[in-house]
A and B are shown apart, each in its own frame.
Chain A
Amino acid sequence: DAKTTQPTSMDCAEGRAANLPCNHSTISGNEYVYWYRQIHSQGPQYIIHGLKNNETNEMASLIITEDRKSSTLILPHATLRDTAVYYCIVTATDSWGKLQFGAGTQVVVTP
């Protein structure tokens, strides 16, 4: 059973910011929030992860609410190559690192 809830799909215009929401209302104190994406026919690609502070890297920003029950992945300037299924995953530090994938959000970036 997935511990996260994400919208099934969303569209985004090229060049605009894409904001991908994720609910994880049952998250525990020792669970991290990870984001991966899977472009068609490829393996999942790591994007970003965080525990409770907001995080930013060269790919995206991760905003986690203060109560940690939800988060938002932000792709600041979406390109056509960002079209993919995006997975929000929570995993505990004592779970050997194994990832539990849900259905994810299909993001389509349009010109």
Chain B
Amino acid sequence: NAGVMQNPRHLVRRRGQEARLRCSPMKGHSHVYWYRQLPEEGLKFMVYLQKENIIDESGMPKERFSAEFPKEGPSILRIQQVVRGDSAAYFCASSPDTLRPQHFGDGTRLSIL
């Protein structure tokens, strides 16, 4: 029973490049959440998606960040024109519905050179 799978585990990008972070939810889970953890800080909610729909993106920066959860395939968090301040651990969580606990992946650690 595989858990939430995130890849890559580590990603290094230069300033101005694009970063794509992938998240495969647990089997049977159609709700996906993305969180960001800046160095020495707590996790902050970014976006909540159901299949093909963004439900709540109130925590996502307005510029350069986007997320999708297509009908087939993993959820993608995309960061365009990365800057040093984007360096963080990005965690994905999934749940079967909003009333049951979320289960987290082990994150993608993004480093910007």
Contacts and interface: CB of A to CB of B under 8 A. Distances in A.
Contacts of A100: 45
Q: Decide if the interface of chain B is mainly helix, strand, loop or mixed.
A: strand
Nearest to A2: B42
A43 B107 contact: yes
B42 A99 contact: no
B109 to A, nearest CB: 9
A97 interface: yes
A97 B91 contact: no
A102 interface: yes
B99 A97 contact: yes
B95 interface: yes
A47 to B, nearest CB: 9
Contacts of A103: 42
A49 interface: yes
B69 interface: no
B98 A44 contact: no
Nearest to B46: A98
Interface residues of A, number: 19
A24 to B, nearest CB: 16
A97 B95 contact: yes
Nearest to A104: B42
Nearest to B42: A101
Contact of A98 (B4, B45, B101): B45
A43 B105 CA distance: 6
B101 A34 contact: yes
Interface of B: 4, 31, 33, 35, 42-45, 48, 55-56, 59, 91, 93, 95, 97-99, 101-107
Given A44-B91, A46-B104, A98-B33, 5 more contacts: A43-B91, A46-B101, A46-B103, A97-B95, A101-B35
10 contacts: A34-B101, A42-B106, A42-B107, A97-B33, A97-B95, A97-B97, A98-B45, A99-B33, A99-B43, A100-B45
The 5 closest A-B pairs by CB, nearest first: A43-B104, A97-B98, A101-B43, A46-B101, A101-B42
